[in-house]
Amino acid sequence: MLKEAWMLAIETLSWMEMQKLSERLALAKTIKQLRISDSNAIKLAHRLVIETVRRRNFIDKFINNALKPNAISEFNLGVQAFLRLYVYQTRITKNWSKIDIKEAKNIAKLARSILGWKSLQKVERVLGLLLTQKPALIFRDVSDEERVGLLTFHPTWFVRYCFKIFGRKGALAMLEANMQTQQTYVRLNTLKAEENEIVERLFEDGIKVERVKQLKHTYTVVSTRQPLTKTKSFREGLFYIQDKASCFTAEAADPKPEMTLLDVCAAPGAKTTYLAQLMQNRGVIYSLDYSRRRMAVWKNDVARMDAKIAVPIIADACNPLPLEMEADVVVLDPPCTSTGAFRKLPSAKWRLTRRSVDKMAEIQWKMINNCAGKVKCGGALIYSTCSVTVEENEMLIERFLKWHPEFSLVEITPKMGLSGLRGLEECQRLYPHIHQCNGFFIAKLSKK
């Protein structure tokens, strides 16, 4: 089992580096490639990958200090992956204090059997140093922003950005919260059964939940005996694993039965299925997304959750939408930098640069403009992202209001977050350190 787990972890990290894949996609690709079915090996590999990637900048600086005058980037992807996993397992899981030489030798032996002794020959000399080197060495001659980035596992540019937008105290609280384990939420599906009945069914499946007071059907998962996706109640569509910030978007849209809705960037289906639930499966929801792969997942989830009023449309919202209609509500949750979801998607931190924010904002600008014409008079446009940057949120809404005077911001209910920045008090923001969920922004615009 241990060898299979390390094979999976090394290959997954290699795919992530080579093709810039997310943790989930890279692991799924590797499982299929290596034909590994041992659930314990997969579970261990997933933990190794997630926790190693989360600390990527710290681990790389620690390794490069030991490799001097060489650098980790000079070696092939398999060796790079092994060195990172080696540091995580032998040092970080031991809180940098305890040294387990036997374990380190066994891991090195595993790596030789997976990668070949020739591949590891050039780095064998540093394995002992990595086992004994003090982590404090990497903080020599670094700036304040870089030091904070290393301690909280964030890129220096992002630390600098957060200091500027949120102030040092607020930024540190948010950055430190990103180091903690992501809270799991589920949304109960009242299209399948009454809420009380579903809670009882979950309990029978070994899932204990607590109600999120501000929202209608959202619960915190307190404990579970097995993975949620392996339970009978999940297969039967009694619940959807969905962050409470995402549930908030659907409730802010305030959909009613018999309405016509347009859900843009709809896959994999969290919003569509909740909107259908709030509409009691009466009316119609046009769900649009450009990705055929993601829409295949959407199709499965819509069927599992019994959302009968959803109509799939494959199209790119960066172009004029291929629909001759106007909707009562248009919900746009565009691609974003995911800077509010670093706890859940740690690899996103290392794919981004400061320029990524501006590039993404331009994509979002095209999408929101294309959505504007699909809102009927008296209707509403909901805009949301799981990003904390102002360029993707408040600044984009300010720009939109100048170009579209027929729209105006309106108050959002429920009032669950803090007011938007730059004086946009009608908008709401959620933060990981305050609201125990993804960092999130939402604006509701009414068309006169």
pLDDT for 37 equals: 87
Least confident of 114-118, 222-226, 343-347, 377-381: 114-118
Q: Is the pLDDT of residue 38 over 90?
A: no
Residue 430 has a pLDDT of 97
User: DSSP string of 395-442?
Assistant: HHHHHHHHH-TTEEE---SS--SEEPSTT-TTSEEE-HHHHSS--EEE
Distance CA 191, CA 305 (A): 8
Out of 6-15, 36-45, 165-174, 347-356, which region has the weakest mean confidence (pLDDT)? 36-45
| Boundaries of every domain in the chain | 2-139, 152-177, 185-241, 251-447
| 247 pLDDT higher than 90 | yes
Give 251-447's CATH code, choosing from 3.30.360.10, 3.40.50.360, 3.40.50.150, 3.40.50.1970: 3.40.50.150
* Predicted confidence (pLDDT) at residue 182 exceeds the cutoff of 90: no
pLDDT of residue 1: 83
Tokens 């080696």 sit on residue = 86
Average pLDDT on 176-180 reads 93
Angle between helix axes 144-152 and 56-67 (nearest 10 degrees) is: 110
Q: 141 or 283: which carries more pLDDT confidence? A: 283
Per CATH, which fold does 185-241 belong to?
Alpha-Beta Plaits (3.30.70)
Region 59-78: what's the mean pLDDT? 94
CA of residue 1 relative to chain centroid, distance: 28
CATH fold of 2-139 reads N-utilizing Substance Protein B Homolog; Chain A (1.10.940)
Segments in 88-177 forming alpha helices (H): 101-115, 117-120, 124-132, 144-152, 156-177
User: DSSP strand E in 138-226: where?
Assistant: 185-188, 207-211, 218-224
Average pLDDT of 104-115?
Answer: 90
CB-CB contact of 439 with 432 (8 Å): yes
Q: What are the phi and psi torsion angles at 177 (to 5°)?
A: -65, -30
Split at pLDDT 50, 70, 90, the class of 181 is confident
Taking the C-alpha atoms of residue 139 and residue 150, their distance in angstroms, rounded to an integer, is 8
> Distance between CA 210 and CA 225 in Å, rounded?
16
The pLDDT value given to residue 349: 95
Residue 83 — pLDDT band, cuts 50, 70, 90? Answer: very high
Alpha helices (H) along 208-256: 232-235, 244-253
The pLDDT value given to residue 156: 97
Average pLDDT of span 404-432:
96
Q: Is the pLDDT of residue 118 over 90?
A: no
Asked if 99 and 106 count as a contact pair (C-beta separation under 8 A), the reply is no
pLDDT of residue 353: 95
Q: Distance between CA 418 and CA 426 in Å, rounded?
A: 10
pLDDT level of residue 432 (50, 70, 90 thresholds): very high
The residue from 265, 371, 386, 427 that is catalytic is 386
* Local confidence band at 119 (pLDDT 50, 70, 90 cut-offs): confident
Give residues with Cβ within 8 angstroms of 303, minimum separation 6.
Answer: none
Q: Please, which pLDDT band fits residue 107 given cuts at 50, 70 and 90?
A: very high
State the average pLDDT for the chain: 95
User: Who has greater pLDDT, 39 or 169?
Assistant: 169
pLDDT computed for residue 369 by the predictor: 97
Residue 39 has pLDDT above 90, yes or no: no
Query: Over the stretch 214-239, which tens digit does the pLDDT of each residue have?
Result: 999 999 999 999 999 999 999 999 99
Whether the per-residue pLDDT at 327 is higher than 90: the answer is yes
Same fold? 2-139, 251-447: no
Please say if 386 is a catalytic residue.
yes
> Given this model, what pLDDT does residue 111 score?
87
pLDDT value of position 116:
87
